[in-house]
């Protein structure tokens, strides 16, 4: 597992002196920046029996020793990756607006989608980490190392812990067993217990330089790299995931009712409804996410005359026109409302009504003046 080109600085900071690493790290930042890949690369490097010097400088796992082979095979005795069980998915831990969107493993248009495992659950924000999972971990960390070396625990996403699980983990972090390194990953660190945060060294993953990220996407064979990167809020792995799932055409279609909203919420809702029916891999939660991003840009355009996601000239023009007749307070109120109904979007009682309601609220906020 390699780190990404935009992570070289952080890697150097942490890994140049691995013996000085604290017993708990908290990797924070929006989803789609490659925090999990980074954590797994750290684990591989710390467990490796013969670390090499990476081309970019700093140590790297050799990829050949017993430890590296076990890790690749998923059966290293001194490593644990703790994630929500896929089957346990619930809407309990709604993701924040930055921990953008749902990523799916569904097949779009018959194409097999090679989504990296690291992205399979990043950003869904659903599923919880249960207390039983932390208890199993306690057994692991308090029993001695199998190989007289370090033991590594990667836990992701930390905000998915139930309160009971978080308290159980806190007890472990309060009296950390020697030679165990916890790497917690969070896309929404504010939701963590302050007592957990204070026991970890916080490593903040900022947004990569857009040119570097776009170059990385192009090298991965992604077309329209700049556009898709912008829509993904500058998160390269999320952008890659979308491109591989052919999300861009769907995204554009989902925006059409917002570009020319007219004044009929039922007509807007029908367009969205047709899109959802035509594409089984596109769901309501993703649509709400797109509306949320559009709204975020509309608010930014109204208040600060700038944009984050939709810099395509046609979109920009529509946003400018709508910003002129929108009311900032109404937009902000709609934004709060959308955050509230996000959870419902996973299991709406009546999709058509949900869409009409969302359209009506949008129209009220944009023609309020």
CB-nearer residue toward Zn ion: 26 or 61: 61
What distance in Å separates the CA atoms of residue 98 and residue 76, rounded to the nearest whole number?
A: 33
The pair phi, psi for residue 19, each rounded to 5°, is -70, -20
What distance in Å separates the CA atoms of residue 238 and residue 350, rounded to the nearest whole number?
A: 29
CB-nearer residue toward Zn ion: 45 or 307: 45
CB-nearer residue toward Zn ion: 62 or 341: 62
| CB 69, min distance to Zn ion, A | 8
Q: Which of 316, 335, 327 is nearest to 255 (CA)?
A: 316
Contact 138, 103 (CB under 8 A): no
CB-nearer residue toward Zn ion: 64 or 209: 64
What distance in Å separates the CA atoms of residue 281 and residue 104, rounded to the nearest whole number?
A: 8
Residue numbers at the binding site for Zn ion (CB under 5 A): 48, 61-62, 65, 68
| CB 68, min distance to Zn ion, A | 3
Residue by residue, DSSP assigns 161-218 as B-HHHHHHHHHHHHSPPTTEEEEEEES-GGGS-HHHHTTSEEEE-PPPPHHHHHHHHH
Non-local (6+) Cβ contacts of 252 within 8 A are none
Query: Cβ of 347: how many Cβ atoms within 10 Å?
Result: 10
| CB 71, min distance to Zn ion, A | 8
| CB 307, min distance to Zn ion, A | 45
What distance in Å separates the CA atoms of residue 174 and residue 137, rounded to the nearest whole number?
A: 15
Rg (CA), the chain: 22
CB-nearer residue toward Zn ion: 79 or 242: 79
| CB 362, min distance to Zn ion, A | 54
Provide the 3-class DSSP secondary structure of residue 61. Answer: coil
CB-nearer residue toward Zn ion: 62 or 275: 62
| CB 47, min distance to Zn ion, A | 8
| CB 58, min distance to Zn ion, A | 15
| CB 203, min distance to Zn ion, A | 23
Kind plus residue range of the DSSP H or E element containing 336: helix 328-341
| CB 147, min distance to Zn ion, A | 12
CB-nearer residue toward Zn ion: 65 or 332: 65
What distance in Å separates the CA atoms of residue 268 and residue 101, rounded to the nearest whole number?
A: 22
CB-nearer residue toward Zn ion: 150 or 271: 150
CB-nearer residue toward Zn ion: 66 or 220: 66
Contact 7, 38 (CB under 8 A): yes
Q: Provide the 8-state DSSP code for 280.
A: T
């Amino acid at each position: 597992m390699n780190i990404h080109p935009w992570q070289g600085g952080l890697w150097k900071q942490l890994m140049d002196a691995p013996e000085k690493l604290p017993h708990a790290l908290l990797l924070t930042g929006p989803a789609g920046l490659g925090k999990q890949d980074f954590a797994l690369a750290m684990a591989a490097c710390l467990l490796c029996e013969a670390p090499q010097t990476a081309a970019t400088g700093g140590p790297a796992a050799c990829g050949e020793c017993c430890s590296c082979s076990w890790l690749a095979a998923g059966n290293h005795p001194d490593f644990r990756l703790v994630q929500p069980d896929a089957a346990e998915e619930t809407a309990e831990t709604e993701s924040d607006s930055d921990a953008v969107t749902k990523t799916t493993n569904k097949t779009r248009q018959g194409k097999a989608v090679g989504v990296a495992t690291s992205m399979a659950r990043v950003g869904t924000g659903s599923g919880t980490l249960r207390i039983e999972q932390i208890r199993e971990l306690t057994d692991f960390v308090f029993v001695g190392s199998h190989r007289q070396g370090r033991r590594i625990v990667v836990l992701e996403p930390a905000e998915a812990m139930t309160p009971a699980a978080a308290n159980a983990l806190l007890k472990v972090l309060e009296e950390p067993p020697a030679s165990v390194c916890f790497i917690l990953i969070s896309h929404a660190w504010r939701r963590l217990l302050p007592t957990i945060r204070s026991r970890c060294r916080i490593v903040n993953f900022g947004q990569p330089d857009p040119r570097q990220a776009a170059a990385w996407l192009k090298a991965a064979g992604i077309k329209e790299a700049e556009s898709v990167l912008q829509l993904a809020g500058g998160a390269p792995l999320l952008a890659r995931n979308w491109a591989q799932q052919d999300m861009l055409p769907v995204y554009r279609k989902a925006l059409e009712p917002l570009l020319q909203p007219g004044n009929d919420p039922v007509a807007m809702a029908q367009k969205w409804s047709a899109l959802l029916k035509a594409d089984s891999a596109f769901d309501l939660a993703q649509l709400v996410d797109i509306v949320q991003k559009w709204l975020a840009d509309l608010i930014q355009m109204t208040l600060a005359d700038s944009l984050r996601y939709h810099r395509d000239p046609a979109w920009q023009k529509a946003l400018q026109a709508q910003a002129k007749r929108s009311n900032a307070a109404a937009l902000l109120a709609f934004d709060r409302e959308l955050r509230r109904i996000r959870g419902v979007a996973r299991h709406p009682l009546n999709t058509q009504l949900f869409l009409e309601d969302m359209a009506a609220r949008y129209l009220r906020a944009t023609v309020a003046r």
